[in-house]
Structure 1
Amino acid sequence: MDIRFSGSRSGTAPLTWGQRAIWDAIQKTAPDDHYFNFGRVLAVPRRARPLTVERAAEALGALVARHESLRTRLGTGQRAGQKPERGSERKTRQKTGPSQVLAASGAIPVTVSDGDPDRLLETLAEKAFAYDGEWPLRVGLVVAAEATGPTVTHIVLVFCHLAADGLGAEVAITDLRLLLLRGAVPGPVPPSPLDLARWQGSEQGLRVARIAAEYWEKEYRRIPPTMFDCPVAAPDSPPVWRARIVSRALDMAVQRIAAVHGVSTSTVLLAASSALVGTATGHDVCAMLPIVGNRFRGDTANAVTTLSQEGLFVLDLRQGGFADLLKAARPAALRAYRSAYHDPDDRDRLTERVGRERGTRIHPYCCFNDMRFVDRVDASHDEQTVRRAMDETTLTWPLSQDQLNCRFCLHVTAEPGGLGVSLTADTRFLPRPAMERYLRDLESLLVEAAFHDVLEPVG
């Protein structure tokens, strides 16, 4: 079956900054670009049951009609792995590079299953999108047999990252729940990628981009050219691996540190992660690229699109101890968040210019992505409980692949068993034993820092 949708307009525009940033990452990761697919599972609310397949398709059609990004495709005929055409000027690039094409109507195919919804999500997400031809949303319905006919129990959505980021996906799920319960979503329709692209090309958008570019250029002149600059081992097969810990002790320790020092838990993790990157690489200044949601404008808070981009977090690790490092990390994090809303073309130009001046390519190849939606702080966790919880920590190796657009990527998630921290790395620069040691050291450092001042410089 298909989900049929009909929106109010169609159109073509340059890619937004967020779309261009993720398209660049997709290009560099192909043919393993399914890495960027992600999804959500919505258990049908009790008050919306029994839900027929037809009624579910109706609600999904309304969702796609409301959020134009879900019916927007790449407009160049390019596939991942092809080099985009580039010119020397902004206008030339916008004409020759990828564009976004919004369709007014169409039909999205649906997979219907009576199996496990999480397994269906994995199946729908395991193949890269055909960006120029396929709709950027895959849909699955899990049904159960009832006396009155098949009833939908779960709706599975898999997003192309060109259409949504994590926060955008949460908006889509919230709106779908409202459509199932009430038949409508209250409030005005948020801006679409088409609207955002036009604003970003305006005088006001160009001013925002210029301020961000000035910060990137200033910092690019003083950071190490690359954090993981020297291969240290032969690559594993495949060369890219992911190690993941789930730690209740780490969760409690980070909450306590954040509460005591008056910072966010994300800042605590950024500071500690940077310190250990310095230990692993020998650099006394760490440049890390945190993924920032960029939903600071009120009208974009409920937009289903990909607004997330990399900011530039720069931290001098030559501090007296972890408390001093945290004090420096707070303003550094704010600067990084402001720098994330930038024009990737500006960044490419200044990267090339500063690289020529310094005689080497400038790119940190070191990323941080806090994917949690809630920040909890709590100073009440006691030392004995936290240290005992370290015995429960688990470590797994959930992913391996050939290509990645980075050398070191740290992802933070909220898990039922505690804080999840995943490290995806190129084993030529950080072998698997060093990856495991990094995650264990991160837990140990923060558990120690939660109850005792770490007096030695942590970098």
Structure 2
Amino acid sequence: MIAFSGARSGTAPLTWGQRAIWDTIERTAPDDHYFNFGRVLEVPRGARPASVAHVSRGIGLLLERHESLRTLVGPGPCQDLRDRGELAVRIVADADPAEILAELTANAFAYASEWPLRVALVTRGDEVTHVVLAFCHMASDGLGAEEVVRDLRLLLLRGRLQGGAPPQPFDLALWQESPAGRRQAWSAASYWEREHRRMPPTMFHVPSGGAELPPIWRGTLNSPAIDLAAQRLAVRHGTSTSTVLLTAVSALVAEVTGHETVAVLPIVSNRFRADTRTAVTTLSQEGLFVLDVEKSRFADLLATAHPAVLRAYRSAYHDPADRERIVAETSRDRGTPIHPYCCFNDMRFTEQAVDRDEALIRQALSESSLTWPLSQEQLNCRFCVHLSGAMQVSLTADTRWLSRQDIERFLFGLERLIVEAALR
């Protein structure tokens, strides 16, 4: 057990990001372990040999520094910040850190009673070689977890951190309820309402006729060709590979569904402000990307997509209560439920764009491979594209609306669309 103590305790409202993920967790339960994620830190060379006591001290200091790691979900729900406690740590000898991480993230957190961080230390003899961290999504998003890993690495190397404490979600929640916070919320809400009154009610509206048991399946396409082609297009059009992929996904959704206007919910980091940039909390929220596709060439769509992406990013920093109200009102006024059920999440942390050679792109096509790493009962969406690694494109879909055959067809169609555009 690692004992820790912090400067304060108390309750505060959930932040916008926490409320957004909490709503998603509730709609996905009992399969909400889907949102658990983790990191593995190899003990840096300069900190070796690292004893269990030394590493445990660093973890205790992390819990003191980052309040989200000692915050439970209280009634309401609300943030229930604790100023002291003990964290159980698992110690395993000569184990594969990836396997330990899979075990730590396999079960949902007990949000009201379990600390939102699970830790295991992998040892060889008396030395800790790896620290395995499993995060509850209520405590952090992916970029917040990177802050935790960075801090822990420095604590293991130096024994302390310089500078003051980072922004805390407790304080962020209070700002979001202030007049300045409400002005930001109003700006975002105006955009959500305008687009909800013109976009199609939903993207995937025709039953597939090919439902599986369980209904939720994920296909993952490992495609070096998409990576190279997206880089070439990004350089050519002066944009990012993320925008290239989001635009391509939207174009293909239009082709599959017949919609001339496509609405996609991209996951946005919301780390553009000084009071959010280094915070360890869940800041990521869905933005609203709306693109008029019609029968435009892909190159023309990329030009149109750029301002639409900026609007989507700005709309992501919003109050979920405003969004719920807008969805309810527009659904009532239009006489049908309004929700895209179509998501896009670029989980890559860095991006490199080089004008890749055509021959390399063609050669890479032979290296593509498709796997089916996940199936489960519940998901809060019908269609979710995730980007990770060098270029792993995952499509998690409800087979009641998009069959496994269509998932596979979509992924290879996406590869074909991007490669052909890059070689044109």
Indicate the TM-score class for this superposition, using the shorter chain for normalisation: over 0.9
Q: Which runs of 5+ in 1 are unaligned?
A: 77-96, 453-459
Equivalent residue, structure 1, for 2:96? 116
| Counterpart amino acid of residue 10 in structure 1 | S
| Counterpart amino acid of residue 40 in structure 2 | V
Secondary structure of the residue that 1:450 maps to in structure 2? helix
Measured after TM superposition, the shift of residue 143 of structure 1 is 0.3
After superposition, where does 1:235-250 map in structure 2 within 5 Å? 235-250=211-226
Aligned: 1:107 with 2:86: yes
| Counterpart amino acid of residue 158 in structure 1 | A
Secondary structure of the residue that 1:315 maps to in structure 2? strand
Measured after TM superposition, the shift of residue 319 of structure 1 is 4.8
Secondary structure of the residue that 2:175 maps to in structure 1? helix
After superposition, where does 1:275-290 map in structure 2 within 5 Å? 275-290=251-266
CA contact (8 A) 1:71 1:103 kept: yes
Aligned: 1:373 with 2:349: yes
After superposition, where does 1:57-68 map in structure 2 within 5 Å? 57-68=56-67
Residue range with higher mean Cα deviation, 182-191 or 433-442: 182-191
Give me the TM-score of the superposition, normalised by structure 2: 0.99
Q: 2:220, 2:161 → 1: CA distance?
A: 38
- Alignment: residue pair count: 423
Equivalent residue, structure 2, for 1:346? 322
After superposition, where does 1:16-415 map in structure 2 within 5 Å? 16-76=15-75, 97-114=76-93, 115-145=95-125, 150-379=126-355, 381-415=356-390
Equivalent residue, structure 2, for 1:91? none
Secondary structure of the residue that 1:298 maps to in structure 2? coil
| Counterpart amino acid of residue 154 in structure 1 | H
CA contact (8 A) 2:172 2:275 kept: no
Q: 1:232, 1:153 → 2: CA distance?
A: 48
Q: 2:358, 2:332 → 1: CA distance?
A: 51
CA contact (8 A) 2:262 2:292 kept: yes
| Counterpart amino acid of residue 406 in structure 2 | A
CA contact (8 A) 1:319 1:325 kept: no
Measured after TM superposition, the shift of residue 397 of structure 1 is 0.2
- 1:75-116 CA-to-partner distances (Å, cap 9, x unmatched) read 02xxxxxxxxxxxxxxxxxxxx31110000101101111210
Q: 1:243, 1:256 → 2: CA distance?
A: 25
Q: 2:161, 2:304 → 1: CA distance?
A: 43
Aligned: 1:431 with 2:406: no
Q: Which runs of 5+ in 2 are unaligned?
A: none
Instruction: Report sequence identity in percent.
Output: 61
Measured after TM superposition, the shift of residue 234 of structure 1 is 4.1
Q: CA RMSD in A?
A: 0.8
Q: 2:415, 2:118 → 1: CA distance?
A: 37
1:445 to 407, 412, 417: 417
Deviating 4+ runs (over 4 angstroms): none
Measured after TM superposition, the shift of residue 320 of structure 1 is 3.1
Measured after TM superposition, the shift of residue 253 of structure 1 is 0.3
Secondary structure of the residue that 1:107 maps to in structure 2? strand
- 1:385-427 CA-to-partner distances (Å, cap 9, x unmatched) read 2111111111100000000000000000123xxx110000000
Secondary structure of the residue that 1:356 maps to in structure 2? helix
CA contact (8 A) 2:263 2:289 kept: yes
Secondary structure of the residue that 1:447 maps to in structure 2? helix
Q: 1:198, 1:314 → 2: CA distance?
A: 31
Q: 1:47, 1:109 → 2: CA distance?
A: 26
Q: 2:420, 2:2 → 1: CA distance?
A: 53
CA contact (8 A) 1:311 1:339 kept: yes
Q: 1:436, 1:39 → 2: CA distance?
A: 28
Give me the TM-score of the superposition, normalised by structure 1: 0.91
